[in-house]
A = this chain, B = another copy of it.
Amino acid sequence: MAVARIAVVAGDGIGPEVVAQARKVLDAVLPGIEATEYDLGAARYHRTGEVLPDSVLAELAGHDAILLGAVGDPTVPPGVLERGLLLKLRFEFDQYVNLRPSRLWPGTTGPLASVKPNEIDLVVVREGTEGLYAGAGGALHRDTPAEVATEESLNTRHGVERVIRDAFARAGRRERRKVTLVHKTNVLTHAGSLWARAFAAVAAEHPDIETEYQHVDAAAMFLVTQPQRYDVVVTDNLFGDILTDIAAAVTGGIGLAASGSINPERAYPSMFEPVHGSAPDIAGQGVADPAAAVLSTALLLDHLGHPDAARRVTEAVAAELATRTSGSPRRTADIGDRLAAHAAS
């Protein structure tokens, strides 16, 4: 029997290039993975008009995890692949934990003058199946001066509490053991109150974990002025979308950011992907940095119960980044080879 059955969605642009390196590394640290490729994304959409056929969704459901490169292309209308593929998978597979670690790695420089490598080491636990992403909303009198358009944020105690629980569980496994709740309780009073009460209830079960609350505007500011202060941040779907991009920015950009859309109970496959997009401008040249895709496999391995293999992958990336001299030419495949060799040893 395979140690794990992985569905691979290489996708568009640089997706296939970086996913190829991620698979090298995966095979090196965990031999015996069964990987099946699925052709989804902009290319398939243009060829067939299909985004995610039900039959493919059903097949994906039979896997332990999904490894995704990048989907998207400027030629596809906005929303088609986002709603039809990425968000559809998050919702169908109940991936309620959107996990996004940010570290300022040794050997890299972020944009902040006063922050040194290793000083930023945080993880955002973003809710993935509720809030403004629920798709609730509509419009009346479209294209007239009387048009009104709504978007509704839906929040359930069920959905909020489970992601907060996950955040506390993760904090308990980290050194600093601190969870920051981010919301906007002073304006979004109904949802804010639900989040705050659920947070207080879960916090009461974890007296050993430090907690704090911040409004989203303040958190956005402090992520720039004092990112060192964060350990685990738990927040709603939209706030998490914004805050994780700021966290990526202060740690050197989305080029190094990994992400997991996780169903912690493993009732459905979780999905792991670099935060960066398909980067059509550099696609096919063999120069894309596979670091974020490889770091995503570390999240995947951790999720599937292989923390040792995950640690070796992370260490391989850390070693690679620490020795990078700026300006030296880097080929995607060479980096992948080095990472695989390092992680296997």
Interface residues of A (CB under 8 A from B): 78-79, 82-83, 87, 109, 111-114, 132-133, 137-139, 141, 143-158, 184-191, 193-194, 197, 216-218, 220-222, 224-225, 238, 241-246, 248-250, 253-254
Which residue among A113, A139, A186 has the maximum number of chain B CB atoms within 10 Å of its CB? A186
Assess whether A197 is in contact with B249, with CB atoms less than 8 Å apart.
Answer: no
> Contact at B184–A238, with CB atoms within 8 Å?
yes
Chain B's nearest CB lies how many Å from the CB of A48? 21
From B151, B249, B250, contact of A191 by CB (8 A): B151
Judge whether A150 and B158 touch: CB under 8 Å: no
Q: Which 5 A-B pairs have the closest CB atoms?
A: A224-B249, A147-B157, A113-B113, A149-B194, A217-B245
How far is the CB of A45 from the nearest CB of chain B, in Å? 14
Residues A193 and B139 in contact in the complex (CB < 8 Å), given A111-B112, A133-B187, A245-B220: yes
A221 CA to B209 CA, complexed, in Å: 30
- The distance in angstroms between the C-alpha atoms of A242 and B222, with both chains bound, is 11
Q: A79-B186, A187-B87, A190-B150 are in contact. Are A221 and B137 (CB under 8 A)?
A: no
Instruction: Give A133 to B78 CA distance when docked, in angstroms.
Output: 26
Chain B min CB distance to A42 (Å): 14
For A139, list chain B residues within 8 Å (CB): 190, 193-194
Instruction: Please determine whether B216 and A149 come into contact, CB atoms closer than 8 angstroms.
Output: no
CB pair B149 A186 closer than 8 Å: no
Give complex CA distance A197, B109 in Å. 40
From known contacts A224-B250, A238-B184, A248-B221, infer whether A156 and B151 are also in contact, taking CB-CB under 8 Å.
no
Known: A148-B155, A152-B153, A155-B148. A225 touches B111 (CB 8 A): yes
Determine the distance from Cα of A293 to Cα of B264 in the docked complex, in whole angstroms. 49
CA distance A145 to B154 in the complex (A): 15
| B residues in contact with A197, CB < 8 Å | 143
Please give, as numbers and ranges, the residues of chain B lying within 8 Å of A113 by CB-CB distance: 109, 111-113
